[in-house]
Amino acid sequence: MNDNRRHWQVLAGNLELFLGAYFMGFGSLGLLFFARLHSRDGLFGSAIAVLVGMLILLRAQTLLSWHRWVFWSVAVLAVSIPVALLVPAVLRLR
């Protein structure tokens, strides 16, 4: 019974890690995009997405119960690599 519970806990933690990285990455890209357009509503929405993503990542850290440095290394890579790949495209847009 305990192994089955741990399986679902790890599955939920991985899903929350993915969703948190998604919200943080695209929220930060949205901050760049809407800052160039001077859109206040877009900036607020993107900032909220970054904050929600961070809260989801903190929840994922407790669910996965990995070593702290392992989790944050994976989380930083999951956020920074897609953002780094998409920043040139976002900066070219008007």
Alpha-carbon Rg of the chain, whole angstroms?
A: 16
Cα 30 to Cα 49: distance, rounded to the nearest angstrom: 9
Extract the tokens encoding 70: 């392992």
Total-model pTM: 0.88
Which is nearest to 10 in space by CA: 52, 51, 60, 47?
60
Which pLDDT tens digits describe the chain residue by residue (94 residues)? 588 889 999 999 999 999 999 999 999 999 999 998 888 999 999 999 999 999 999 999 999 999 999 999 999 999 999 999 999 999 898 6
